[in-house]
Chains A and B, each alone.
Chain A
Amino acid sequence: MRETSTYTEAELISGCVHGDREAQRLLYERYASVMYPVCVRYLGREDAKDVLQEGFLTVFDKIGTYKGEGSFEGWMRKLFVNASLMHLRKTDVLRRTEDIDEVPEAGGVLEHGVLEQISSREILDLVAGLPAGLRSVFNLFVMEGYSHAEVGALLGITEQSSRSQLSRARSLLQEKIKKIYNGKR
């Protein structure tokens, strides 16, 4: 049995297209640690595991449609983002926005150097810990680059609501980052 590192990406993709179970396993091993944080960002750690599994099944199902345009990792990431949003819709989390109003509006700008003192893992946990609505808007706007109109359409909220929730998400994150930073000093 070959190690995953000895296969080229093209070989793995080709194997998966032909339903080769070994190629599928190696592809999973290569990308699971990359896609898992994507799911965590959208869903938190509790639900991320389920979506990671479902996302890989979708990848293997659709891998024949990957035409080599753009990076394969980017193509996979898009599928996992979609799988995460689907999960949020299914669980109807996005409609439960009562917790959003309790979040304070933005309160100042984070000083330079503060964010750099926080590890990526800690930042990931902070994003994953946001209320679902804020988390979704933050991820779609900041990480995926959608406009507020597009975020609103995707989540079934108004454009104004998207702006408002992003603002609250920023405030909450800044506040928590400051707390961690102060704790480390």
Chain B
Amino acid sequence: MVRDDFDQRLRDRLEGVTEPAPDVWEGISQGLERRRRRVVFRRFAVAAAAAAAVLALALLVFRGPRTGGQVVAPVQIAGTEKPVVAPAETPDIPDIAPIEEQIAALPHQAVAVARVHKPAAPVVPATDEPAAAEPVAVEPTVEAKAETPVVAEPKADEARHLLSEDELPADYWTREEASEKSHSRTHTSQISILSNLTTTATDGNLLYIPSPMHASSQSGKSQAVSDIEPYSTNKFYAPLTFGLQVAFPLTDRLFIATGVNYSYLVSQYDILYKKVMYEGAYNQLHYVGVPLSLSYHFVQTPHLGVYAAVTGAAEKCVAQRYVFGSNVLSEKVTGLQWSAKAGIGIEYWFIPHMGIYFDPSLIYFFDNKQPLSIRTQQPLQANFEVGLRFKI
């Protein structure tokens, strides 16, 4: 290219010009310190999430049978085997009277039955001994079960009559357990409004990708922007996810959840577009996904829950945009982004039907030929999900 002589002479004079610069080292030093702290925090966050995930997996995999200091409910099939009671729970302390005697001793108390943990459905034949005294020795019979008495509603003047264990209907405890379980079930389906923040350890330093694995030209077919090629990665902003999930109880402690998530990813990198380099082009990705999660609640109190969860998700990139200079270009993205997540969570119920939860976890994004983003550059990420949870 022919350059003007004036241009050349100006260039010669300006090239290599030096001039004392204002002292900005203090500002640079502070900026470096801020960046160092960010890196330390990210590493800590990744380590914490990794530990949480490992703990969660360990709890899911190695958790043994639950006894929890309760009498193990005998699985009683009439005419088969004796009910089994945990030895530790055998009431062999002579100083303590059977519960029925204690109840009976209460004067004029309008309480019909004191609730104790009891084998789920032992049908106890009439004996002289209180049922609770020797639960192991009882041999259930089919006949006894079949003769389950129907208990009439106590009248007002009968309210003071105290039922002994033997007078209870055979399915009293079963009914109560079932009633409790049913009551509990109706309140354990949950709906969650969530937001995710993912910390990343990558902050650039990939200068040149000659033929990028995840270049947009490989994932999308739009002719209009097929010339776009990531040249150097500069910055990945923390992805944001919002979603709505519904969880259903499979058992008292095991939940399955699904819903819909929206994720927004922004990257900034230099691109080559029609052989011209644009520095700091923004790439925006919009994903909509469906997660499927399984969680095990190993701590459940009225106000607090602690659980471990594993989640798989499929996400579809519904929109991709490049913004550089005065250009805004869109591109279609094919395929799905699959991911797997494991972590632990803690939930706190402010009121019986509403609570807040926090799920630190580790998430891994599989290589599904998606556009360049933090997910392709750093597939393993620490993920922090917070949200509101409602019992329905």
Q: Which residues of A are in contact with B by a Cβ distance under 8 Å?
A: 19, 21, 24-25, 28-29, 32-37, 40-41, 49, 52-53, 56-57, 60-62, 64-65, 67, 82, 85-86, 89, 109-110, 115, 118, 120-121, 123-124, 127, 141-143, 145, 147, 149-150, 153-156, 170, 173-174
Whole-angstrom distance between the alpha carbons of A156 and B327 in the complex?
8
Can you give 17 A-B contacts (C-beta < 8 A)?
A: A19-B36, A24-B32, A29-B25, A32-B24, A36-B20, A37-B14, A49-B22, A65-B206, A82-B279, A86-B280, A121-B17, A141-B7, A142-B3, A143-B15, A153-B273, A153-B274, A156-B325
Whole-angstrom distance between the alpha carbons of A33 and B31 in the complex?
20
Q: Are B274 and A115 interface neighbours, CB within 8 A?
A: no
Q: Are B21 and A142 interface neighbours, CB within 8 A?
A: no
Q: Kindly state the interface size class of chain B when it binds its partner.
A: 35 or more
Most buried by A among B1, B4, B10, B278: B10
The minimal Cβ–Cβ distance linking A37 to chain B, given in whole angstroms, is 5
Q: Are B21 and A35 interface neighbours, CB within 8 A?
A: yes
New A-B pairs, 11, CB < 8 Å, besides A34-B18, A62-B205, A109-B6? A21-B29, A49-B24, A52-B22, A56-B28, A62-B207, A65-B232, A82-B280, A120-B13, A142-B10, A153-B325, A154-B325
Q: Are B13 and A33 interface neighbours, CB within 8 A?
A: no
Q: Are B32 and A170 interface neighbours, CB within 8 A?
A: no
Within B6-60, the residues touching A (CB, 8 Å) are 6-7, 9-11, 13-22, 24-25, 27-29, 31-32, 35-36
With a cutoff of 8 Å between Cβ atoms, the chain A residues found around residue B232 in the complex are: 65
Given A85-B279, A123-B13, A123-B14: A53 touches B19 (CB 8 Å cut-off)? no
Q: Are A61 and B279 interface neighbours, CB within 8 A?
A: no
Contact of B10 among A21, A86, A123, A149 (CB under 8 A): A123
Whole-angstrom distance between the alpha carbons of A109 and B29 in the complex?
47
Closest to B270 in A: A82
Q: Are A33 and B36 interface neighbours, CB within 8 A?
A: no
Given A52-B24, A65-B207, A147-B1: A57 touches B13 (CB 8 Å cut-off)? no
Whole-angstrom distance between the alpha carbons of A50 and B48 in the complex?
37
The minimal Cβ–Cβ distance linking A152 to chain B, given in whole angstroms, is 9
Contact of B28 among A36, A40, A53, A170 (CB under 8 A): A53
